[in-house]
Amino acid sequence: MTSLAATRYDARTIALHWTVALLVVAQWASGHTIDWFAKGPPRVDARAVHVVLGSLLALALAWRVVWRASGGRRLAQAKTLDALVSQAMHLTLYAVLIVVVGLGVFNEMLRGDDMFGFGHLPKWGTWDKDARHLLSNRVTTWHGLGATLILILAGLHASAALIHHYFLRDGVLKRMLPRGQ
């Protein structure tokens, strides 16, 4: 079945979509396994990996938002409930991603973590050690809850794409797959 929904996104939009998706999964996994590492250098390095991946996610997300707003291909959208739900999901995913990345950046500004033994990120603010630790713990909690919310939303998003592909057979999934898929 061929329809407007079968029109493909441009290669950059597709690459940025899957890069952000993979980095979100990697970030969630790395964030939830940091405490599995022994205290000291192994845990410091695990946290540094999380910070580096988070930085890459922030860059990819920013590039994706700018590209989508300026140069990315816009596909025709039907004015159906399905299309409105899809748009709401995309906007919600973007908003939650931006908030979670922002919380991660803010937490790093509070913590000033060591980066693989090469030095510490600068700390922001004049809080005493206990207040800084308390605030960082609260931000960490919100950051983790937001990250889990992203996975739930992304799971719903992926489920909808699979329903379109396998049951509705309308080409919606194919427009975001790399060429040849």
CATH number of the domain encompassing residue 53: 1.20.950.20
User: Residue 181: inside a domain, yes or no?
Assistant: no
Lowest mean pLDDT among 4-8, 42-46, 140-144: 4-8
Query: Does residue 38 belong to any structural domain of this protein?
Result: yes
Q: What backbone torsions phi and psi does residue 172 show, to the nearest 5 degrees?
A: -60, -45
Whether residue 165 is contained in a domain is answered as yes
Sign of CA dihedral 105, 58, 53, 145: positive
Higher pLDDT, 21 or 176: 21
Q: Structural domain of residue 122, as residue ranges?
A: 4-176
16 within some domain: yes
pTM for the model: 0.87
Residue 168 lies in a domain: yes
Q: Is the pLDDT of residue 83 over 90?
A: no
User: What is the tally of structural domains in the chain?
Assistant: 1
String of DSSP letters for 95-160 = HHHHHHHHHHHHHHHHH--B-TTS-BPPP-S---HHHHHHHHHHHHHHHHHHHHHHHHHHHHHHHH
Residue 76 DSSP SS3: coil
pLDDT at site 78: 67
Share of the chain above pLDDT 70, in %: 92
Closest-CA residue to 26 (of 165, 154, 177, 180): 154
Does the structure show a pLDDT above 80 at 49?
A: yes
- Closest by CA to 50, choosing from 67, 73, 26, is 26
For 135-156, write each residue's pLDDT tens digit: 999 999 999 999 999 999 999 9
Sequence-separated contacts (24+) of 90-94 with Cβ below 8 Å: 90/157, 92/153, 93/150, 93/153, 93/154, 93/157, 94/65
> What average pLDDT does this structure show over 65-82?
78
Give me the pLDDT at residue 125, please.
Answer: 86
Residue 53 counted as domain residue? yes
What pLDDT sits at residue 26? 96
**Cα–Cα distance measured from residue 79 to residue 49, given in angstroms and rounded to the nearest whole number:** 43
**Residue 172 forms part of a structural domain:** yes
Q: Confidence band (pLDDT; 50, 70, 90) for 60?
A: very high
pLDDT at 181 over 60: no
